[in-house]
Amino acid sequence: MQGELQFPKDSWRLTLPRKFDRVAQKEFEARIQQILSGGYTKLALDLNLVALISNSGLGQIAMACLDLKAKGIQVNFVGISPKIKGMLDRHGLSDLLAAAKV
């Protein structure tokens, strides 16, 4: 998983790996905590590489987005494939896309 500070200084881009499994989920949680405590105001969540994601992974992304939003952090999704978008739709998580810029 790649995380990098972007210009402007208060923004972060987080690129999820091809396989968003339990190991990746642990790293994702650590990055989200870093973003929550780091004074950032924007997150670009890049799903361009994601080919496989579990139901628990989708739930974790949804919960992270809610936590970030509650802290006033704007989340933008980048590179959502039709397959991942379909998964979000089927699990009733389309509101994530509506609430964030895609």
Give residues with Cβ within 8 angstroms of 31, minimum separation 6.
1, 3, 14
CB 15 within 8 A of CB 9: no
Q: Which domains does the chain have, with CATH numbers?
A: 2-99 (3.30.750.24)
Question: Can you tell me the distance from the alpha carbon of 92 to that of 2, in angstroms, rounded to the nearest whole number?
Answer: 27
pLDDT (0 to 100) of residue 11 = 86
Report pLDDT digits (tens) over 6-29.
546 788 889 999 999 889 999 999
The DSSP H or E segment spanning 96 is helix 94-99
Mean pLDDT per 10-residue section of the chain, whose length is 102 residues? 60 91 92 89 90 88 89 88 84 68 50
With 0-12 / 13-18 / 19 or more C-beta atoms within 10 angstroms meaning exposed / middle / buried, residue 92 is exposed
Q: What integer pLDDT is reported at residue 1 of this predicted model?
A: 56
pLDDT at 39: 84
d(CA 99, CA 4): 23
